[in-house]
Amino acid sequence: MTEYRPPLGCRDSLRLDFNENTVACSLRVREVLGRISTGALTRYPEREPVEAIVAKYLGLAAPQLALTNGVDEAIHVLFQAFLEDGDELLLPVPTYTMYEVYASATAARVVPILAGDDLSFPFERLLAAITPKTKIIAIANPNSPSGTVATREQLLEIARRAPQAILLVDEAYFHFYGETIIDLVGTVPNLIVSRTFSKAYGLAGLRIGLLAGPVELMRWIRRVLSPYSVNSLALACLPPALEDETYLNWYAGEVIAARAEFEVALDAAGVRRWPSRANFILTKIGPRHAEFVRRMSAAGVLVRDRSSDPGIDGCVRITIGTREQMRKAAVALNDTLAALKA
Ligand SMILES: Cc1ncc(COP(=O)(O)O)c(C=O)c1O
């Protein structure tokens, strides 16, 4: 299997390396956490009632939705359920690392489809790569680490052209983008959508995500899914997290405003960047990317070196937080770039 080692350390810094919420979750979630009973800890968690609440919130029927231990578990379970020897997983790259990691635990072959220099979605190349062996096509939308997107029409065309395959659209960064295809779950027979509570909702530590798809496909997924992988604390926190739309809208709005400001700062500094619809921006730092990341860390700002991803040598991904945080990050960026030039 492919090994995955997340970077650790310097936790007091401004964490712009994991695309997390950089502030906190909703206060309503904190209140519910403070009232958790010992009974809730004693009992095995019951996910169905909360699945029904989340499904209703998303306009879906309960059997169309499964809560998971983060989208990571969702990807793992989906791949375990469907990928067999001789199957192919189509993966536009560069993309989220865990698709490849979980695919490597199956006997299927990964078919990477490299994005062009502008890192736009490789739509035509992906269509050309579809074969009768294609079993899953996994598309993060917006994509990480590039921040670029596939349009709804492109996704629908892919679903039409690969009826034998499952199209997974991973909408982990939906709240910073605003466009979704989740409304077509159940209508498009091979469409499965994932969402996470780790990003805009600020609950990465609780590990909650979901898969939404046609009932028939979800039945297979439930067979593989551990019945207790979403714990009681996570389940208790989901309804208040969903209810506090004011908080969510504030946070997403803040990030979108900060993203626009930080783009201006990057342009002023002469750093190449790609247009992003997510809570991060991919930047081209060049051959001294590792030193850049080290110096930024020393200046109290953690950023993520993506240089070893396919096609993006010398690139660093920077998570977007609030405007205030990103103004500090811009100062660290300018100081670091000046130090690299000196
Ligand atoms: C595209 C994408 N999907 C899924 C995840 C993981 O989500 P979760 O924390 O719910 O496992 C990430 C995390 O960075 C991501 O970038």
Q: What is the pLDDT of residues 280-316, one digit of tens each?
A: 999 999 999 999 999 999 999 999 999 999 999 999 9
Q: What value does the mean pLDDT take over residues 177-206?
A: 98
Cβ 134 under 6 angstroms from ligand 1: no
State in Å: Cα 342 to ligand 1 middle.
Answer: 37
- CA–CA distance, 230 with 68 (Å, rounded to integer): 6
The mean predicted confidence, pLDDT, of the chain is 97
Query: Both tokens of residue 147?
Result: 């921040």
CB 279 within 8 A of CB 199: yes
State in Å: Cα 196 to ligand 1 middle.
Answer: 7
Cβ 70 under 6 angstroms from ligand 1: yes
pLDDT of residue 272: 98
Cβ 279 under 6 angstroms from ligand 1: no
Cβ 22 under 6 angstroms from ligand 1: no
pLDDT of residue 4: 80
Which is more confident, 10 or 256? 256
Residue 73 CA: which ligand 1 atom is closest? 11
Predicted confidence band of residue 9 (pLDDT cuts 50, 70, 90): low
Cα–Cα distance list, 21 to 9, 24, 250, 257, 329 (Å): 18, 7, 12, 15, 15
Write phi, then psi, for 317 (nearest 5 degrees).
Answer: -100, 135
Cβ 140 under 6 angstroms from ligand 1: yes
State in Å: Cα 179 to ligand 1 middle.
Answer: 17
- CA–CA distance, 130 with 17 (Å, rounded to integer): 33
State in Å: Cα 176 to ligand 1 middle.
Answer: 14
Cβ 198 under 6 angstroms from ligand 1: yes
Q: In what order do the strands lie in the sheet with 14-16?
A: 14-16, 301-305, 315-319, 280-284, 272-273
CB 213 within 8 A of CB 78: no
Evaluate if residue 198 carries a pLDDT over 70: yes
Cβ 141 under 6 angstroms from ligand 1: no
Cβ 190 under 6 angstroms from ligand 1: no
Cβ 71 under 6 angstroms from ligand 1: yes
Evaluate if residue 10 carries a pLDDT over 90: no
Evaluate if residue 107 carries a pLDDT over 70: yes
pTM over 0.95: yes
What does the pLDDT look like over 136-163, one tens digit per residue?
Answer: 999 999 999 999 999 999 999 999 999 9
Evaluate if residue 181 carries a pLDDT over 80: yes
pLDDT of residue 312: 97
Ligand 1: which of 72, 197, 282 to mutate, most ligand atoms within 8 Å of CB? 72
- CA–CA distance, 322 with 205 (Å, rounded to integer): 20
Evaluate if residue 246 carries a pLDDT over 90: yes
